[in-house]
DNA sequence: TTGAAAGCGGTACCAC
DNA sequence: GTGGTACCGCTTTCAA
């Protein structure tokens, strides 16, 4: 039974090689094998060598499950992101990895490919694989709760109702206000925005923009939607200028979109920032590579990732969780050439 | 007992809540708890509900180790990359994640932060956490072997001696040749290269460049080193032009460096491609965002990631491994505006 | 429908 | 220095 038929050849009963097999092969007991493998010293050199040889011969590898079961260390956290190829999430992921590594934790990464359906699949599977979860979720909070019962969860950039969740807030209000103020100071009064599309409610960033615009007596209604990509940004800009040709400055949902808008402006022959000022959101490293360099309401992605990991760690170990006011990342205006 | 005292305080005996605790609390046996939790149907509704309630109450979560131990499914692979923030590795990682997800596998990601020392630390820890490894390694093959005994290993972009390793070859010979041919066709004869720096031996890409240059009767000696970043590319270009002012075209180690060179050319007031042609390597999406769009000897990063995962999967299951000729990714010239 | 008992693959503790 | 044995937390027969 269980004869996996050895794929290609041989009467190989492809069973896992266990410590027992090694013990038998070396003519010792399991404990002795354990000693040899774990470098304990209460063992004779020759015995140890014999065991080691046998282990190598058999291609033995300890089961991580059995080992994890008995020595209850090793912490693994799950990191869920919508799209690793999106540089913003890349940066967050990278810093989360950094923080985790510093603590000796492992990180299983799940990319939900920007599809909410995938989130559920991920959640179901994640529950039995990690000790805690950090990440971005768009699904309903009840769904979230349902699949992650009892697991520490830190949500990034999203509010939560249930007490069992923890979340990292992104506060861009002041930053966006500063951006609009800057544009106004440069003489712009017709300021548009490229918001994201495909969501029921308007984005928080849109709210911040609206508030800032109103505070300056500016009409906040010049808005177009843009898919979350450079191409989307280009199309969005065309749509925006089509509907509101008077626009001389644009604030975008994020840097990717801004970069696309920058490229489109070039194609349209509008000089940046002279004829069109552009300010993005996120503060990606990418912004420094384009021409002109992108002004942006910048987020400290490093902090974002490390805060999330820190918090999930506290939840995990039962230490005092960070208070809400510490779980905030403020965005601030960083000017470069594009505005 | 086992009163977890509501998170914050109390004489919490912070022991893990086990299936046993739930069983006792619900007044049933462990097996019944197992049934209830795993949705088996040989159980009375009321009993099931009682168990579920008890479990929730106690905040019970099954141990992934115990579970993994008994049902021997769940495959986890380790993905080791030098720097997730480098867009090239991001793309490879993203496609590896995709392929793994398609198979229902989990991926633990390790970022070695471009430091070879970190590799060893990672390797030591990885052995007891994953079933197979895929990734980039710069350390010595014996070291590699030493820490990963018996574990399927797929090396990307690196040759191997030992039979136990498998590797994905990157073949850029034809692509680089095409690049040089293109430049020559455009009238360039003074073609330089920005190679990477910090390595003992010259890179393969340098070798390909040298061969292609010689094939066209071009002096392959106009080379400068560049750190692997946009800034590095800028500095490299300055160095190259300082030493070889006659250069009118540049081939770079990768796209990041090329983008930096592009930016530097702009600063130096050299028009691209009219006064300086630039061709990168990798074919990153990033290349389409800069001005002018970057020509590049492009690699199919998607294929790279999925091949690696496919191969490690075969090694894992004992299926016939892909033959070396299938484990090759060819780079090919993709022209855009920069050359 | 439910429970008892036998592992899964290791490690730790205690004799020998 | 080495082996016996209990046990880590869970699932899977097999009886009851």
Residue B11 has pLDDT above 50, yes or no: no
Between residues A159 and B273, the one the model is more confident about: B273
Return the ∠ at Cα B109 (arms to B103 and B111), rounded to 5°: 150
The length of chain B, given as a count of residues: 339
The chain A residue lying nearest B71, using CA atoms, is A65
CATH number of the domain to which B87 belongs = 3.40.50.2300
Peptide bond preceding B247 in cis form (omega within 30 of 0)? no
Q: Kindly report the length of chain A.
A: 339
Tell me if the pTM is above 0.95: no
Last residue of a domain, one of B40, B73, B106: B73
Distance of CA B306 to CAs A225, B48, B101, B154, B266, Å? 34, 43, 11, 12, 37
CB pair distance less than 8 Å for B85 and A90: yes
Handedness of CA B336, B337, B338, B339 (dihedral sign): positive
Spatial CB neighbours of A27, under 8 Å, sequence gap ≥ 6 = A50
The answer as to whether A336 is a domain residue is no
A332-334 and A295-298 beta bridge pairing: antiparallel
B49, B123: one domain: no
Per-residue CB contacts under 7 A with strand C, chain A residues 215-274: none
With b meaning 16 or more CB within 10 Å and e meaning fewer, what string describes A206-225?
bebbbebbeebebebebbbb
Distance CA A175, CA B277 (A): 39
- Quick one: tokens of B266? 């702009």
Q: Is the CB of B63 under 7 A from strand D?
A: yes
Q: Which pLDDT score is estimated for A14?
A: 57
Do the beta carbons of residue A133 and residue A149 sit within 8 Å?
A: no
- Are B96 and B127 in the same domain? yes
One domain for residues A203 and A263: yes
| Residue A337 resides in a domain | no
Total of domains in chain A: 3
CB neighbours of A205 closer than 8 A, spacing ≥ 6?
A: A172, A176, A195, A253, A281
* Interval B11-19 mean pLDDT: 66
B86 and B13 co-located in one domain: no
Question: Based on the domain organization, do A250 and A187 belong to the same domain?
Answer: yes
The CATH number linked to A40 is 1.10.260.40
A contacts of B109 (beta carbons < 8 Å): 93, 97, 107-109
C-alpha B236/C-alpha B232 separation (Å) is 6
Q: What's the pLDDT at A310?
A: 97
Minimal CA separation from A211 to chain B, in Å: 31
Ranges of chain A with pLDDT below 50: 1-13
Q: Over range B43-50, report the average pLDDT.
A: 87
**Mean pLDDT on B263-288:** 96
Q: Which domain holds residue B25?
A: 1-73
- Residue A34 contacts strand C, CB under 7 A: yes
Q: Do residue A89 and residue A58 come from a single domain?
A: no
CB-based burial of residue A203 (10 Å sphere; 0-12 exposed, 13-18 middle, 19+ buried)? middle
A167 neighbors A160 (Cβ within 8 angstroms): yes
Of A65, A93, A288, the CB nearest to B68: A65
Q: DSSP label at B224?
A: E
**Per-residue confidence at B9, pLDDT binned at 50, 70, 90?**
very low
Kind and range of the H or E element at B69?
Answer: helix B64-70
- What average pLDDT is seen over chain A? 90
Question: Is the C-beta of residue A13 closer than 7 Å to nucleic acid chain C?
Answer: no
Is B48 a domain residue? Answer: yes
Angle CA(B305)–CA(B310)–CA(B315) in degrees, nearest 5? 130
- How far lies A218's CA from each of A211, A221, A296, in Å? 10, 9, 20
Q: Is B275 among the domain residues?
A: yes
Residues A35, A67 within the same domain? yes
CA–CA dist B191, B276 (Å, integer): 10
Q: Looking at the domain assignment, is residue B338 inside a domain? A: no
**Are B267 and B314 within one domain?**
no
pLDDT of B232 higher than 90: yes
Whether A145 and A255 map to the same domain: the answer is no
Mean pLDDT of chain B: 90
pLDDT over 50 at B13, yes or no: no
Q: Tell me what pLDDT residue B5 has.
A: 30
- The verdict on B153 and B193 lying in the same domain is no
Checking if the pLDDT of B200 tops 90, the result is: no
> pLDDT tens across B313-330, in order?
999 888 899 999 999 999
- Out of A62, A87, A128, the one facing B64 most closely (by C-beta) is A128
Domain presence at residue A87: yes
Whether residues A209 and A142 fall in one domain: no
The answer as to whether B339 is a domain residue is no
**B4/C2 CA-to-C1' distance in Å:** 29
A285 touches strand C (CB under 7 A): no
Q: How many angstroms separate the CA atoms of A296 and A261, rounded?
A: 13
| Pick from A180, A145, A178: nearest CA to A164 | A145
Cross-chain residue pair A101–B110, CB shorter than 8 Å: yes
Counting one residue from A and one from B, how many pairs have CB atoms under 8 Å apart?
145
Nearest nt to the CA of B70 via C1' is C8
Whether the Cβ atoms of residue A273 and residue A246 lie closer than 8 Å to each other: no
Extract the tokens encoding A285.
């490293």
Q: A210 and A293, same structural domain?
A: yes
The confidence score (pLDDT) of residue A8 equals 29
Among A35, A56, A73, the domain boundary falls at A73
Q: Are B19 and B34 in contact (CB under 8 A)?
A: yes
pLDDT computed for residue B14 by the predictor: 58
Q: Which of A73, A90, A115 is the last residue of a domain?
A: A73
B94 vs A85, A97, A263: nearest CB: A85
CA of residue A65 to C1' of nucleotide C7, angstroms? 15
A338 within domain boundaries: no
């Amino acid at each position: 039974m269980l004869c996996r038929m050895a794929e290609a050849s041989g009467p190989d009963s492809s069973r896992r090689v266990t410590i027992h097999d090694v013990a038998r092969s070396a003519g010792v007991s399991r404990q002795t094998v354990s000693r040899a493998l774990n470098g304990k010293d209460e063992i004779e050199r020759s015995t140890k060598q014999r065991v080691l040889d046998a282990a190598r011969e058999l291609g033995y590898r300890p089961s991580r499950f059995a080992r994890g079961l008995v020595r209850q260390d090793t912490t693994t956290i799950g990191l869920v992101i919508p799209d690793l190829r999106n540089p913003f999430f890349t940066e967050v992921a990278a810093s989360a990895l950094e923080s985790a590594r510093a603590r000796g934790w492992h990180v299983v990464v799940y990319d939900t490919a920007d599809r909410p359906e995938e989130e559920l699949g991920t959640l179901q599977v994640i529950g039995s694989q990690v000790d805690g979860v950090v990440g971005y979720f768009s699904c309903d909070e009840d769904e979230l709760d349902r699949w992650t019962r009892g697991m520490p969860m830190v949500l990034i950039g999203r509010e939560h109702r249930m007490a069992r969740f923890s979340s990292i807030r992104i506060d861009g209000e002041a930053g966006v206000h500063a951006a609009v103020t800057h544009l106004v100071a440069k003489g712009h009064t017709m300021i548009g925005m490229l918001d994201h599309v495909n969501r029921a409610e308007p984005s928080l960033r849109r709210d911040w923009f609206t508030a800032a615009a109103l505070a300056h007596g500016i009409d906040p209604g010049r808005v177009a939607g843009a898919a979350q990509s450079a191409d989307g940004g280009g199309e969005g800009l065309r749509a925006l200028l089509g509907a509101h040709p008077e626009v001389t400055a644009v604030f975008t949902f994020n840097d990717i979109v801004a970069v696309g808008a920058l490229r489109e402006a070039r194609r349209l022959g509008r000089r940046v920032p002279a004829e069109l000022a552009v300010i993005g959101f996120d503060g990606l490293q990418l912004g420094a590579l384009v021409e002109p360099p992108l002004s942006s309401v910048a987020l400290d992605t490093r902090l974002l990732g490390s805060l999330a990991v820190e918090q999930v760690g506290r939840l995990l170990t039962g230490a005092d969780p960070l208070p809400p006011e510490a779980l905030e990342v403020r965005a601030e205006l960083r000017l470069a050439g594009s505005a």
